[in-house]
Structure 1
Amino acid sequence: MLLPLATPRGVALDRESDMAGILEQDQLRRNGVRALVWGGAAALLLLPLVAMQFTDEVDWNGADFIVMGVMLLAVCTAYEIAARIARNNAYMVAAALAAGACFLTVWVNLAVGIIGNENNPANDLFFFVVALAMVGSLLVLFRPRPMAWVMVATAAAQLGVFAYAWLADLGFVPVFTVVMCGLWLASANLFRRAAGQAWS
């Protein structure tokens, strides 16, 4: 006895059910990552407060916590925007790398200065690099393909700041430059993959 074949409508219902399950799992995963991002930011903000209870090496005042809080809020907000726009994991990772690179640059620069100390005038140029990444992202409305080119331009700006500081005898930071350019270019490559298009 032959088993009855599934009707086209039954197949369509099964596919819709499978798709709904995939979307639900993806939403749960994103919610889990969202909780991790915001929880991690809160923990990072509280870390200096805890450290101050055990050592005199960490001495933050209210202004330090406000600045750090604003920076973390900016990174988390960037993640939220990416989470709502993203259509694939490549976009999410690309956005995370870009936001992390911005945060790392500003944090290190404000804390100790990237070149020498925080009073070195060359350090102000690194804020220009971050501004380029942020303004460029807004101008292209966070679309993946143009975002790839924004990240390439940001890497070029990072290299330009390094070259200027070196030639002007203001400082020499090859390791930081290589790390940051690597982050910007890795983000660019992932945005390109997210767009599903080749360079043109």
Structure 2
Amino acid sequence: MKNITKRQRVWAVVVALILIMLLAIQFQPFADEVQWNETVAFGVMFLIVGGAYELWQWLKTRNKLYCFAFIMGFFGVFLLGWVSGAVGIIGSEDNSVNSMYWAVPIVGFIGSLLSRFKSHGMAYTLFVVALIQFLVPVVALIISPEVSWGNAGVVGVFIVNFIFAAIFAVSGLLFRKANI
């Protein structure tokens, strides 16, 4: 029997999660009301996690701090995408100002490529990502003051953004320490 590698197990879990999601949709009582664009988005998110694992294997380093910083930053982006896409952070998921949150992973991706995934550059990238994360509700408040902030209210939205910004800032600090 062939040995199954860790990479194969990760991809098996990703595929299993996608299949479970598709099966659950088929057997639910409201199958006609399924939001297929959300289903595709979550499937893509699972594939991105598998791709991130591949990237992590490619970046393989003996520095455990770098790996932890990378996982923490990626987890923050993944969670941000999930929350913003599923229920929305500012009001509901249909609120157009939530699209500003796309700036966070885009800046993170571009900064990671420009820094060539080196610790020093990744630290700066995550600090900028944290700043952008915190500025999104500020910009939303300035350009669209009439927007509904949902049940959480303005303070609740700022607290959620602070938590995400803290995740990115801590990841940046870990990258900075990994550089030493």
- TM-score under structure 1 length normalisation: 0.70
Q: 2:98 aligns with which of 105, 112, 123?
A: 123
CA shift in 2, pair 1:83/1:192, >3 Å:
farther
Which protein is bigger by CA-based radius of gyration? 1
1:113-151, Cα deviation, whole Å (9 max, x unpaired): 221112322111101111111111111111111101100
CA shift in 2, pair 1:126/1:61, >3 Å:
closer
Q: Where has structure 1 moved over 6 Å in runs of 4 or more?
A: none
Higher normalized contact order (CA 8 Å, seq sep 6+, divided by chain length): 2
Partner of 1:78: 52
1:181 aligns with 2:165: yes
CA shift in 2, pair 1:175/1:51, >3 Å:
farther
Alignment RMSD, CA only? 2.6
Structure 1 unaligned segments of length 5 or more: list them.
1-30
1:42 aligns with 2:21: no
Matched letter for residue 181 of structure 1: A
8 Å CA contact 2:73–2:167 kept in 1: the answer is yes
Aligned partner of residue 115 in structure 1, secondary structure: coil
CA shift in 2, pair 1:121/1:108, >3 Å:
same
Q: Percent identity among equivalent residues?
A: 30
8 Å CA contact 1:83–1:92 kept in 2: the answer is no
TM-aligned CA deviation for residue 164 of structure 1? 1.9
Aligned partner of residue 41 in structure 2, secondary structure: helix
Partner of 2:66: 91
Matched letter for residue 176 of structure 1: V
